[in-house]
Structure 1
Amino acid sequence: MSRSIAEKRAAFRALHEQGCFMLPNPWDTGSARYLEGLGFKALATTSSGFAWSLGQADNTVARDLILAHLRDMVASTDLPVNADFENGYASDANGVAESVRLAVATGVAGLSIEDSTGNADEPLFSIDVAVERMHAARKAIDATGGDTLLVGRAENFFAGRPDLEDTIARLKAYSDAGADCLYAPGITTREQIAAVVAAVAPKPVNLLVGSVSDFTIQEIAALGVRRVSVGGGLARAAWGGFMRAAESLAKGRFDGFEGAAPGKTLNAQFGG
């Protein structure tokens, strides 16, 4: 890799200053290198995509495996990598701070911290606790030099609590606690997106578009969004092709290989 970690982090911050950029989510080093070859400016990991590659459900992978994955992803590309760092793999602020310190050491250019608890009965941390956790993440980053971008995520819509008012209150609180970029996965309408962008301005907003959408990137940019990620969307697309082919084989047929990428193309992609 020719760019230093510091250069990657500086480039990543610059992307958030104006315009709107696509932030695709590879799930392994091969998919990361392919996306780099297509000309994307930055990448983000996907906790779900990586978990599925291990044969695990999302939100069940141990922190040590996540950290090893982040090191591999950073080493595989010259592009800045944003870590889907779930809820920081800790419930208390001190634990979040330690996890963030370890994540920064992998060389990621940014990382996100969610306010999800992992408890179905109480899926979200209270806003006070969530703010303490975000502040701890901010302090941990600052202690390393402060150049890693911190993304604050409000999980209301993913947690079955689609309350836009509370989502915005949380995002504003995370911004005040030091988050550089704000993210509310699950918002989908123009009205929701515009409201979030306006509430946290001038800080940048990430929008998740992980499935088929009528939006174009130009329309999203016009709403004031700075970056667009796809979460596990690419991993699910890959799994869809694999599952169709595998199910065809299970039925004694071979038609599931239609549309498969040629081996020569893949070898050329990864051999250069």
Structure 2
Amino acid sequence: MNAVDTLRALHHDRAPGDPLILPGPWDAASARVFEEAGSPALATPSAGIALSLGYEDGQVPPGEMFAAIARIVRSVSVPVSADVEGGYGLPAKELVERLLETGAVGCNLEDSRGGALREPAEQAVFLAEVRAAAGSRLFVNARVDTFLRGVPEVAAAVERARLYVAAGADCVYPILAPPEALPALRAGIEGPLNAVAGAGGPSPQELGKLGATRITFGPGLLHRSLGALRDIADELV
């Protein structure tokens, strides 16, 4: 089985309470740590890579982001999915080509542009173009930004998610959906459902019992690592 087929298979037939946990490496060293710990696949966070490169989230030049993804992919033997934000304004064919050149076999694509929600039909067209260009070579995780952008109604997230699945998305990611919304999202959306786990919130297993089939962490693991590094630095200084 090749890497993309492995990644796709990992998302299916998950038991409740046993979601696919995808740590988010920000560089080659962290990717190796997660692989050595037994992670079957990894999912890069754009915000984490941005911080590691000295940028604010959303400000990394595309060339630097693709280079960072390539270094992570090169450092491990497990499948890697890459967060490429909204696609950097690239045409779908070019975006797919550049992603595949990094060795990544999956991607996150968000439906915000410039801090505002994109029209769902437009995003669905873009996702369909990505799917057509990629064929089966990429696992596409379609991020739904309604909760992030102040639209709390579950129905709005479900409407977008259904459009994106119909356009060819393999998974949907209603980022920052409150845990109590997960059962309704699970009931309304076909296929894998991504939830983010954060400090002080439900565990990945608890999120799985609520309906999530895939758990990611955004830049949270980097922030935890920086906290430990600050403690070390305080001891030294």
Q: CA deviation at 1:245?
A: 5.2
Q: How well do the aligned residues superpose, as a CA RMSD in angstroms?
A: 1.8
Say which SS state the counterpart of residue 82 (structure 1) adopts. Answer: strand
Residues 24-81 of structure 1, C-alpha deviations (whole Å, 9 max, x = no match): 1010000000011111111110111111111110011011111111111111101110
Query: Which residue is 1:3 aligned to?
Result: none
Q: Which has the higher contact order (CA 8 A, sep 6+)?
A: 2
Contact 1:211 1:230 in 2 (8 A): no
Contact 2:120 2:160 in 1 (8 A): yes
Query: Which residue is 1:110 aligned to?
Result: 106
Return closer, same or farther for 1:256/1:147 CA change in 2, 3 Å cut-off.
same
- Of structures 1 and 2, the larger Rg is shown by 1
Of 109, 119, 122, which aligns to 1:126? 119
d(CA) in 2 for partners of 1:137, 1:187 = 25
Contact 2:179 2:207 in 1 (8 A): no
Contact 1:184 1:207 in 2 (8 A): yes
Residues 156-176 of structure 1, C-alpha deviations (whole Å, 9 max, x = no match): 122233332211111110001
| Correspondence 1:115-264 to 2 at 5 A | 115-118=111-114, 120=115, 123-142=116-135, 146-190=136-180, 192-201=181-190, 203-213=191-201, 215-243=202-230, 248=234, 255=235
1:16 aligned onto 2:5 = no
Residues 218-238 of structure 1, C-alpha deviations (whole Å, 9 max, x = no match): 332223321111110011112
Structure 1: unaligned runs, 5 residues or longer: 1-5, 249-254, 258-272
Amino acid at match of 2:50: A
| Correspondence 1:27-46 to 2 at 5 A | 27-46=26-45
Bigger mean CA offset, 222-231 vs 154-163: 154-163
Contact 1:67 1:102 in 2 (8 A): yes
Identical counterparts, % of pairs: 32
Residues 131-184 of structure 1, C-alpha deviations (whole Å, 9 max, x = no match): 111111111111xxx132111111112223333221111111000110011111
d(CA) in 2 for partners of 1:218, 1:124 = 30
Normalised TM-score (structure 1):
0.80
